[in-house]
């Protein structure tokens, strides 16, 4: 069984993340989505809210694509979390050359620590290369329309967060 681990903050889930979920389905039998917990950061959404967002998008994709998925949290090295969940594929999305440079360094370091976990880079599809969770949060916080950057249910959650 090919198990992939796709880590991120998912704060919030964007159409870029959904793009990577869909394309990961062709590579793995089981996709583990890891919500990273960073003690120095204060996320906009709670782990429960992020999990709900992820389930909303992953469930129909998994059903259609014939793969299994699990959503987990982790607060340690990504490569350790992947290994602990039995993943041998670490999935990383790339939007631009800066992502590539950073991820290549991380891939080398991870490969030294856990050679059995192989990093697979998936370039973002052209229609979502410009999307980042940070920019989505900024736009939403200023009352902007984020409907084209995130799934509808996420846009609704963002509107709710910033309206009160």
Has domain 3-128 been given CATH number 3.40.50.620? yes
User: 39 pLDDT exceeds 90?
Assistant: no
Q: How far apart are CA 54 and CA 136, in angstroms?
A: 16
Q: How far apart are CA 94 and CA 56, in angstroms?
A: 23
User: What's phi and psi for 41, nearest 5 deg?
Assistant: -115, 145
Helical segments of the chain, H only: 15-24, 47-65, 78-84, 97-113, 133-141, 152-163
pLDDT at 40 (0 to 100): 85
User: Under a CB-based contact definition with an 8 Å cutoff, are residues 93 and 120 in contact?
Assistant: no
Residue 34, classed as helix, strand or coil, is strand
pLDDT 10s digits, 112-153: 999 999 999 999 999 999 999 999 999 999 999 999 999 999
Which positions are catalytic? 17, 41, 95, 133
pLDDT at 63 (0 to 100): 87
Dihedral of alpha carbons 141, 147, 149, 154, sign:
positive
User: What's phi and psi for 131, nearest 5 deg?
Assistant: -90, 130
Give residue 23's pLDDT band: very low, low, confident or very high (50, 70, 90): very high
pLDDT 10s digits, 56-84: 999 998 888 888 999 999 999 999 999 99
User: 164 pLDDT exceeds 80?
Assistant: no
pLDDT at 137 (0 to 100): 96
Q: What is the rounded average pLDDT of the residues 154-159?
A: 96
Residue extents of the structural domains in the chain: 3-128
Residue 80, classed as helix, strand or coil, is helix
**pLDDT averaged over the chain?**
95
pLDDT at 31 (0 to 100): 96
Q: How far apart are CA 84 and CA 15, in angstroms?
A: 28
């Amino acid at each position: 069984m090919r198990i992939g681990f796709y880590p991120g903050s998912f704060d919030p889930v964007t159409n870029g993340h959904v793009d990577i979920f869909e394309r990961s389905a062709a590579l793995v039998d089981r996709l583990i989505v890891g919500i990273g917990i960073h003690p120095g950061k204060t996320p906009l959404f709670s782990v429960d809210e992020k999990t709900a967002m992820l389930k909303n998008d992953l469930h129909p994709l998994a059903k259609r694509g014939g793969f299994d998925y699990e959503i987990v949290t982790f607060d340690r090295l990504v490569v350790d979390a992947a290994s602990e969940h039995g993943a041998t594929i670490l999935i990383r999305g790339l939007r631009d050359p800066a992502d590539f440079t950073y991820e290549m360094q991380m891939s080398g370091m991870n490969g030294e620590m856990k050679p059995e976990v192989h990093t697979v880079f998936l370039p973002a599809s052209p229609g979502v290369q410009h999307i980042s969770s940070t920019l989505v949060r900024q736009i939403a916080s200023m009352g902007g329309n984020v409907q084209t950057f995130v799934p509808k249910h996420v846009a609704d959650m963002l509107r709710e967060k910033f309206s009160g």
